[in-house]
Homo-oligomer: A and B are copies of this chain.
Amino acid sequence: MTSPAERRAHVVGLGLIGASVALALSERGWRVTGEDADADVAGRARATGVVAEGDLDATVTLCVVATPAGAVVDAARAALAAGSERLVVTDVAGVKASIVAALDDARFVGGHPMAGSERRGLEGARADLFSGCTWVLTPTEATAPATYGFLHGVWRDLGANVIAVPALDHDRLVAVASHVPHLLAGALMNEAADAAEQDAVLLQLAAGGFRDMTRVAAGDPSIWPDVLFENRAAVQASLAALEGRLTRLRRALETGDRSALSGDLHSAALARRRLPGRALHPEELAYLRVAVSDQPGVLATVTRTASEALVNIYDIEIAHGIEGTSGTLLLAVEASRAAEFADALVARGFEVGRE
């Protein structure tokens, strides 16, 4: 939809993610400028060609805020105020609810690329960091479908598997899938380190399983307090649930309740073996067409309906006519749940067709 001349991006924050976005967009023909709170970093990014000279001017159509989570809202507000009507602003922070709640603008959609690297900062950046990664977008009532559609296309062009999830669900899910596992790995490593202080031979007994479980604890710890405090409600709830599970396992050992122990270990083994290696295969997906008006709120309603119906949306495309007053959403969902989801959408007043 944007002509080559319009492919202008500006990145705020040139750490690992921001600089990788800049490199990836440049590789695809975008002109990318950037800034960083650290003038040294910004200088090195320009000197090494990661970003070009320039500011967030009126030609910029995409501004990516890649600052630490605590600085996102201010940076995004500044970009929305400085940019044109056509500007789309997004962020890449690991927590979303508090950020998207503070940015009530049709031109903004929150995002979180689930990409990591052993390396950190500008020097760790790679143009292919997002290839194959899951990139979550969290549209709200305020988000214009055109904003979402544009950004979806850009990130998919970088090789990402883009999915839409309500921001609160995102935060709850990353608490379970990422934040609490990180705390757990740290607690286990500290427990072992204390034991090893009494008996260094422990370190020889720490075989593959222990190494696997504590590997993430070796990562740069400085980014975590921010992330954890930003997502504290979800992390606290998930930690409390896990403490409860461990207490029940300990009680089962105390009382000799072999069946409780055995049941828990069996259900965990089943669940772990079912964990998909990657995204679903295309043949496991079904596509629904949903006629929508180009009104803010429509994407949030669709994703909330999916969440309530326990259906996972693997992809949302804006099929056509999105610049006008109506359009069509093309939704990819698990084939086995497609009929149920279509019913739920019809019950909300949507017109739904099957591809």
Contacts and interface: CB of A to CB of B under 8 A. Distances in A.
Interface of A: 114, 116, 134, 136, 161, 163, 165, 169-170, 172-174, 176-178, 180-193, 195-222, 224-225, 228-229, 232, 235-236, 238-243, 245-247, 249-250, 253-254, 256, 258, 261-262, 264-269, 271-273, 275-276, 279, 307, 310-314, 334
A212 B210 contact: no
A246 B201 contact: no
A312 B201 contact: yes
B249 A229 contact: no
A268 B207 contact: no
A203 B218 CA distance: 24
B116 A207 contact: yes
A189 B310 contact: no
A261 B210 contact: no
A193 B267 CA distance: 9
Contacts of A215: 209, 212, 272
A129 to B, nearest CB: 13
Given A187-B246, A238-B191, A245-B187, A177 B207 contact: yes
B195 A188 contact: no
Contacts of A314: 204
A289 to B, nearest CB: 21
Q: Which of A214, A241, A262, A269 has the most CB of B within 10 A?
A: A269
B221 A269 contact: yes
Contact of A186 (B172, B214, B265): B265
Contact of A209 (B216, B265, B334): B216
A235 B264 contact: no
Contact of A213 (B173, B181, B313): B181
Contact of A169 (B188, B199, B211, B217): B199
A185 B213 contact: yes
Contact of A184 (B198, B204, B213): B213
B247 A243 contact: yes
